[in-house]
Amino acid sequence: MRLDTTFYWKNLCTLVFILALSIGVALGQSQEDLDLAKAYYQNGELEKALVLYEKIFNKAPENTAIYGPYLSCLKNAKLNDKAEKLIKKEIKQFPLEPGFKFDLLQLYQQIGEAKKAEAILKDIKKSVNKPDHLLVEKTAKAFIENRMWEDAIAVYLKGNELFNDPERYNYQIASIYGKQEKWEELYTLLIQILGRDESRIQEVKNTLQTYLITSKTSNLLKEKLYSEIQKRPSYIPYMDLLLWVYVQDEDFKNAVKYSIQFDKRLRQNGLIVLNIGDQAMQEKFYNEAITAYNYVVGLGKDQDYFYQAQMSLFDAQKQKLLSGKYSIADLNALRSLYLATIKDYERERRTYELIDINIDLAELYGEYLMKTDSAIEVLNAVINTMPVDANQLLNCKVKLGDYYLIGDSPWEATLLYSQVDKAAPGSEIGELARFKNAKWSYYQGDFAWAQSQMDILKSSTSELIANDALNLTIFISENLGSGADSLGNINSMKMYAKADLLSFQHQTSIALALYDSILIYYPTAPLADDILYAKANIWIKEQALDKALDALTEIQLKYGEDIYGDDALYSKASLYDYTLNDPKKAMELYSDLFMKYPGSTYVVQAKKRYRQLRGDKLTDTTTE
């Protein structure tokens, strides 16, 4: 018998098409139900969501995506038998996932089935019966998520036993102690870890950084560490950790004190103390840094770190002097110290240190003693008679250019800037030189050329140069204006740029007079807040602090919503903080800054300093 294959294939194709269409309709309907159920659930309409989730579950009980919300709906409707059945189905399907057993445990606890709950809890603990890292971590994590801390610790201890490694899960256990605020147990465990393996020092520090939040907790750790040091006086990691805790507390007085003890005990020839001094310098604890450096210097010239400490000591003394109120006598005393040390270094042929200290001396002459001829003479001697490397040479030329410009020799300055720009195009020092050349064009009133260069430098690899270039571009654009006011704006801007140059050249009395005359001749020029801020900066440098504070306050009151609002407030806070030594007022102003200007670039530093003054313990990740 011959089959009619044409008829057969036609009917088969029709059947496949109908089947595919019906499946597609079913899938489409299921997705619509799922989307609608999700919407009901998110809106809190759990009864409506339950109807749809039950419909979906009955059609596709293997659909684990609906498990969570479906279980919530069942428990809300007190359909406990159905909820139990749903959870047990998931446990059967995924027997190694402890989370489902915890859902059953919680259900039994909620409905008062204490014996069943206890049986499930025992089963969860009993399930950790082999050295399976994933199983240990998942089970412990489930306990942690349910704030069952002791049970989580028990799981990790069982994991240590199963892996025959008593240290394997100790950091996880330490983390749980931290969450419980069990400081005694936390610190004891971490000290034990470090005592067994000195290579764990950084891991221990990383774990501790989260929990050193109060003086009480850090003092407990210090006491424990000092006790351990008495037992093991030559064990370096304990000393390292103790000093680290003092640094975290910014208690540099004690950090220096103990660093000297440990340095002597370990015969480190000043290295430990030098490192603590460097950390104190970084945080602007100049007195403590000076104490540390003086100790290392006092060990004698024959010690390895003498000259490094001496150079750091000069820097600390200079920074301390310039951060507060100082007199010409103070500056001259520092100059005499530099000159005496230079003679000493010349006798001993300390070429490397001679280069650095002469550069510092030139800065003292050019920036503070107003002796630009002396600054130029010193730097020329460095360039022409000392074995400077390529980077030192370029840096010296940029600084020399600055001193020529201060000394009113602009063509020598621009020649030096151009040499550096040409010698190191695209590098940070090259871009700095180009910026200074462009700034000279701005001083001359050639705003178009200055802007063209600043537009290039806005993409500088140096964030500082890029920001300065952007700020100058915006300043020029916003204040030149257009139309009927443009001629007056151009003339007022030229006066302002000239005053800026005079300020840079330390001709401050003339600069102040010129700033004042701008608004007399051009009362509509949009430069009032710029002038106030420029004058405030001059007065800060001249230590006319009352005038500076008045100007900054006026900016806050009249122009607080404009560009200098946050700058003025931060400058004012810094003056009270570092120069006037009024931490209470400084805290008030720092707080005002991050409340009024949450988007300011000063916010992170203001918050950090506010918390330091308040006595908080900060970590490297503190940003709030």
Tell me how far CA of residue 435 lies from CA of 398, 464, 478, in angstroms.
11, 11, 20
Section 536-558 average pLDDT: 93
pTM: 0.68
What is the reported pLDDT for 2?
38
Give the fold, CATH level 3, of 527-614.
Answer: 1.25.40
Tokens of 162: 């199963």
Burial of 486 (0-12, 13-18, 19+ CB in 10 A): exposed
pLDDT (tens digit, 9 = 90+) per residue, 160-194?
Answer: 999 998 888 888 899 899 888 888 999 999 999 99
Least Cα distance to 258 among 298, 213, 268 occurs for 268
The answer, yes or no, to whether residue 22 has pLDDT greater than 60, is: no
| Cα–Cα distance for residue pair 489/524, rounded to 1 Å | 9
Least Cα distance to 450 among 425, 476, 431 occurs for 476
What distance, in Å, lies between the first and last C-alpha atoms of the chain? 88
What is the reported pLDDT for 432?
94
What is the reported pLDDT for 6?
41
What is the reported pLDDT for 214?
59
Section 271-288 average pLDDT: 94
Section 461-472 average pLDDT: 88
Tokens of 46: 């759990």
| Cα–Cα distance for residue pair 161/614, rounded to 1 Å | 45
| Cα–Cα distance for residue pair 127/539, rounded to 1 Å | 74
- Is residue 602 within 8 Å of residue 566, measured between CB atoms? yes
What is the reported pLDDT for 380?
95
Looking at per-residue pLDDT, the higher value among 622 and 501 belongs to 501
- Is residue 535 within 8 Å of residue 552, measured between CB atoms? no
Report H helices in 458-582: 463-480, 486-504, 508-521, 528-541, 545-559, 565-574
Confidence of residue 21 (pLDDT cuts 50, 70, 90): very low
Section 99-121 average pLDDT: 81
Q: Tokens 């003479």 appear where? A: 377
Confidence of residue 409 (pLDDT cuts 50, 70, 90): very high
| Cα–Cα distance for residue pair 35/33, rounded to 1 Å | 6
Tokens of 58: 């009955």
Q: pLDDT over 90 for what percent of the chain?
A: 46
Coil, helix or strand at residue 591: helix
Confidence of residue 531 (pLDDT cuts 50, 70, 90): very high
How big is the chain, counted in residues?
624
What is the reported pLDDT for 43?
83
What is the reported pLDDT for 325?
74
The answer, yes or no, to whether residue 394 has pLDDT greater than 50, is: yes
The answer, yes or no, to whether residue 502 has pLDDT greater than 90, is: yes
| Cα–Cα distance for residue pair 340/357, rounded to 1 Å | 11
Least Cα distance to 430 among 465, 388, 386, 402 occurs for 465
Q: What angle do CA 100, 106, 111 make, to 5 degrees?
A: 130
| Cα–Cα distance for residue pair 573/553, rounded to 1 Å | 11
Q: Tokens 């040091």 appear where? A: 229
What is the reported pLDDT for 305?
94
- Is residue 376 within 8 Å of residue 404, measured between CB atoms? yes
CB contact set of 354 (below 8 Å; sequence gap of 6+) = 342, 345, 346, 386
CB contact set of 357 (below 8 Å; sequence gap of 6+) = 311, 314, 338, 341, 342, 345
Burial of 150 (0-12, 13-18, 19+ CB in 10 A): exposed
